[in-house]
Amino acid sequence: MNLTEMIKALCSLAAPSGFEDQARKLVRELLEPYVDEMREDPMGNLIAVKKCGKPDAKRLMLDAHMDEVGLIVTGIEKGFLRFATLGGIDPRMLPAREVRILTEEPVFGVIDTMPPHALAPEEMDKAIETDNLFIDVGMSQEQAAARIPLGTAAVFAGGCETLGSSMLCGKALDDRACVAIIIKTMENLKDRDLNLDLYCLISTQEEVGTRGAITGTYSIRPDYAIAVDVTHAHTPDAKKEKTLPMGKGAAIGVGPNMNRSVTELLIETAKDKSIPYQVEVLPSSSGTDGWVIQISRSGVPTGLVSLPVKYMHSPVEMMNVDDAEAIVRLLTEFTLRLGEERSYA
C-alpha cells in the first residue's frame, strides 16, 4: 500500500472523537509488521513500540491523532435528528450536507436547509447555527427513535479522493494523513538498526481538546516527541501570514510549544538530506497534541512537523501528497539521526 492508498483507506473510515474503533482497528493492522508490541490504553489510544534492544535506550515518540471531527445525535424531533458537533465544525459547511450516522448498520442522512421563502431576506446572509439544523434520515419519529439512539455519532459522508496531479481531497485528512505518514515512517525503518526505542502514539480525542495525548504520553514516558499534525494551507480568502503554501514540503514548527534543540535537529536534518521544508512560526499553542505532550510528567522535549491542509475540519480538506512524502523522509532521517546523536548523551 503506498502512502496515497493508505491515506485513502484511513480517511474512508468513520472515527470521530470518542468513537475511534474503526480507525484503531486498521491502524493496528497496518502497524503490526513494523513494531514489537502494541497496546490500547483506557482512553483508546493505540501505543506501539519498535525496540532497539540496547540497554538504557532513550524513547522517541511519534504522535498523530486518529480521530476526526464529527457530529453526535442529541435529540429526535418529528423524525429529524438534532445534533451537536464533536470538535470545531463551521456550521456554514452543514446545510445540504450528507452524513453517515454510526449506528450498527450505518444510516444515511442529509442535513436539511430551510428554503429561502421560510426565512426573512436578511437571514439569507446569515450562517445557520448548528442548533437550527437537523439531519434528515427520511424516517418517521417512531422509525428514527427505534433505529438511532441518542448519543450516536456521525461523520461527513465520503472519504478522500485524488484531485488534479498531486492533491488529495476529502474528510479526515486531519489527522489520518499524518497517521499514514507515521506508519510509512515505521515501514521505512523496519530493517534499520535503531539506537532508541521508537514509540508511536496514535491518539484519540484530539479534536475535543488533545485528551488522548494526555494519558498516552504519560504512559509512554518519552524522552523526545514529535507531534505530527496538519496546519492551515493558503486559500484565496485567508490571510497569507496565517497560512502556509502547499507543495513546499514539511512544515517545521518554531516557537515556545516546541523544544529549540529538537526543532533545530529537524531543520538540520531536512537541510542535510535535501528534504523540502518550511518553517511555521507559532507564537503560542500549536493547537496540536504537542501542546500537552510538552508538559507531560516532568516535561518532554517536543518538536512539531505539520502537513499543510486547506479547508481544515471540512468534508473537503485538501493536501499535497508531495508534502506528505517529504514528512515521511524527514521523520525517518530524524529518527536515525537523533539515535546517533542523543541516545547515549
Partner 1 sequence: MLDTVKTLCYLSGVSGCEDEVRDYILERAMPFASEIITDSIENLLVFKKGRVEPGKRLMLCAHMDEVGLIVTGIDDEGYLKFDFIGGIDRRVVIGKRVYVGHDRIPGFIGIKAFHLLDKDEKKTVPKVGDMYIDIGARSKAEAEKQVALGDVVAFDDVIAEFGDGCLKAKALDDRVGCAVMLKLLEEELPCDTWFAFTVQEEVGTRGANVAAYKLRPDLALVLEGTTAADLPGVDEGKQICSLNGGIVIPFMDHGTIYDRGLFKMLARLADDNHIKWQTKGRITGGTDASAIQRSREGVRTGALACAVRNIHSHACIAKIKDFDDMLELARLFLEEVAND
Q: Which stretch binds partner 1 (CB under 8 A): 202-210, 238-246, 266-274, 325-333?
A: 238-246
DSSP for 39-66, please give it: EE-TT--EEEEE----TT-EEEEEEEE-
Size of the site for partner 1 (CB under 8 A): 64
Nearer to partner 1, 126 or 260 (CB): 126
Strands 80-86 and 135-136: antiparallel
Binds partner 1 by CB under 8 A, chosen from 19, 34, 80, 224? 80
Binding residues among 11-70 for partner 1 as defined by CB under 8 A: none
Is 161 a binding residue for partner 1 by CB under 8 A? The answer is: yes
Nearer to partner 1, 21 or 136 (CB): 136
Phi, psi (degrees; rounded to nearest 5) at 136: -95, 115
Nearer to partner 1, 2 or 132 (CB): 132
Is 139 a binding residue for partner 1 by CB under 8 A? The answer is: yes
Q: Are 70 and 87 in contact (CB under 8 A)?
A: yes
Q: Is 237 helix (H, G, I), strand (E, B) or coil?
A: coil
DSSP for 322-341, please give it: HHHHHHHHHHHHHHHHHHHH
CB of 125 to partner 1, least distance (A): 6
CB of 79 to partner 1, least distance (A): 8
CA distance 148 to 139: 11
- In the chain, the amino acid numbered 224 is Y
Is 315 a binding residue for partner 1 by CB under 8 A? The answer is: yes
- Indicate the DSSP class of residue 234: P
- 206 catalytic? Reply is yes
CA distances from 222 to 27, 40, 59, 301 (A): 21, 17, 5, 9
Binds partner 1 by CB under 8 A, chosen from 239, 240, 298, 345? 239
Q: Interface with partner 1 by CB under 8 A: which residues? A: 77-78, 80, 88-90, 92-93, 95-98, 107-110, 112-118, 124-128, 132, 134, 136-140, 143, 157-158, 161, 163-167, 169, 232, 235-239, 242-243, 246-247, 287, 310-316, 318
Annotated catalytic residues are 206
